[in-house]
Structure 1
Amino acid sequence: MSNFIADIKIPDSKLAVEAAELLREHGDDLLWNHSNRVFLFAAMKGNLNQIKYDPELLYISSLFHDIGLTPKFRSDDKRFEVDGANAARDFLKSRGVPEENIRLVWDAVALHTTIGIVEYKEAEAALMNFGVGYDVVGKNFDLISTEAREQIVKAFPRDSFKHKILHAFLEGFKHKPETTYGTINADICEMLLPGYKRPNFCQSVLHSRWDE
């Protein structure tokens, strides 16, 4: 496969290649293709808007953003986004990456589903959130040309992605649905997890132990 797709260069530094190998080892084709599309859509948005960003950090963030769904990295009690962020942090620390870059990647991965906040973070986090939104729900779909979109999907096929990704999400946190409280992932549990009842914040307030 060419290192350039839709005029975007996929980072090929030692660090980037090792991160890609980690996802290849522990993820599946669905997550691999999705994560690479996220990077490409994110980078394209950055280039179109002339946003300064670090391609290597954006790529690594994209590769790790859903790795917390995998058996290797999923925890028993944390949000899958935090599991992915922690995995990225461990990976980068073990390779002597500067703390500021580690923090940036951690934030990008941990906050990638936190709509209304992450888009105001650093460029890499904001751009990756754009890439995720573009690939998962088609947000701002017309921003990227049909030709570029087709080149990206040809390189990293969707393969009925929108019919498979919700089940992939659920598989990553069905054993800990309580971690989805207050997030868009609760929608997935409500739709696909038998017997799941979404917690209600108002009821939590009104039934707290405060005597008033």
Structure 2
Amino acid sequence: MFPETPAAAAALSVGTRFCSPALLNHSVRSYLWGVMYGTAHGIAFDDELYYVSALLHDIGLTEPFDSHRLPFEAAGGHLAWVFGVAAGWPAARAARAEEIIVLHMRGDVSPAADPESHLLQVATSWEVVERRPEEFPPDARAEMLARYPRLGFDAEFVACFEDQARRKPGSAAAASVSNDVAGLMAVNPLQVHISA
């Protein structure tokens, strides 16, 4: 189900050590939603690279790796580069993990141009603000939430984004707060499923 490589195992260890259980489950779900979507659409992607990027994509929201100057995705991307090089990846591969994490908070990337970034964008936007609900059927949602429950992810995530917005008013997180990420999350089918 998950890539069985030293880098993948290390990414899970880092996520487990530094992310809350809710944020870690979100990261794992983001990987799995992306794989589900990619498989359904015949999108070829680098599984290890996508897994590491998904596991580390929100690490910049955690207290140990938060930057008071950089948007969380930039801080997390820098950490992913360091992680990749330390895992023995060539610098260019480590830079790809950094790029994927940064791009997940930017405008849409096509699967042809960058499949891993596209998958992370699709997965995280579904997880957070209900984009493309038709891609994720109710039975898959129920199974995913049973295996990797939200554990209060919505409230924790909104609080993190509101904190980012206060300190980094020009960031993508601040734009999300201005665009009512809290309201969108409140009606997300994944949250509604839990509340029902």
- Structure 1, unmatched stretches of 5+, are 1-8, 193-212
What is the alpha-carbon distance in structure 2 between the residues aligned to residue 120 and residue 167 of structure 1?
34
1:139: Cα distance to partner? 0.8
Q: Provide, for residues 136-189 of structure 1, a one-character-per-residue CA deviation record: whole Å limited to 9, x for no partner.
A: 111111212222221111111023433432113234x25622342xx3533427
Q: Residue 157 in 1 paired to residue 146 in 2?
A: no
Residues 118, 82 of structure 1: alpha-carbon distance in 2 compared, 3 angstrom cutoff: farther
Identity rate, percent: 25
1:22: Cα distance to partner? 0.6
Q: Provide, for residues 9-35 of structure 1, a one-character-per-residue CA deviation record: whole Å limited to 9, x for no partner.
A: 122322111111111111101210110
Q: Provide, for residues 54-103 of structure 1, a one-character-per-residue CA deviation record: whole Å limited to 9, x for no partner.
A: 11111111011110011111112111100000000001111220233212
What is the alpha-carbon distance in structure 2 between the residues aligned to residue 124 and residue 169 of structure 1?
24
Return the TM-score normalized by structure 1: 0.77
Matched length: 181
What is the alpha-carbon distance in structure 1 between the residues aligned to residue 156 and residue 10 of structure 2?
27
Equivalent in the alignment of 1:20: 12
Equivalent in the alignment of 1:75: 67
Spell out the pairing of 1:171-210 with structure 2 (5 A cutoff). Answer: 171=163, 173=164, 176-180=167-171, 183-188=172-177
Equivalent in the alignment of 1:108: 100
Return the TM-score normalized by structure 2: 0.83
- The answer to whether the 8 A contact 2:53-2:97 is kept is yes
What is the alpha-carbon distance in structure 1 between the residues aligned to residue 162 and residue 97 of structure 2?
24
Greater C-alpha Rg: 1
Residues 95, 159 of structure 1: alpha-carbon distance in 2 compared, 3 angstrom cutoff: closer
Which amino acid counterpart does residue 176 of structure 1 have in structure 2? R
What is the RMSD of the two structures over their aligned residues, measured on CA atoms?
2.2
- The answer to whether the 8 A contact 1:104-1:125 is kept is no
Equivalent in the alignment of 2:88: 96
Residues 76, 130 of structure 1: alpha-carbon distance in 2 compared, 3 angstrom cutoff: same
- Structure 2, unmatched stretches of 5+, are 182-196
Residues 89, 188 of structure 1: alpha-carbon distance in 2 compared, 3 angstrom cutoff: same
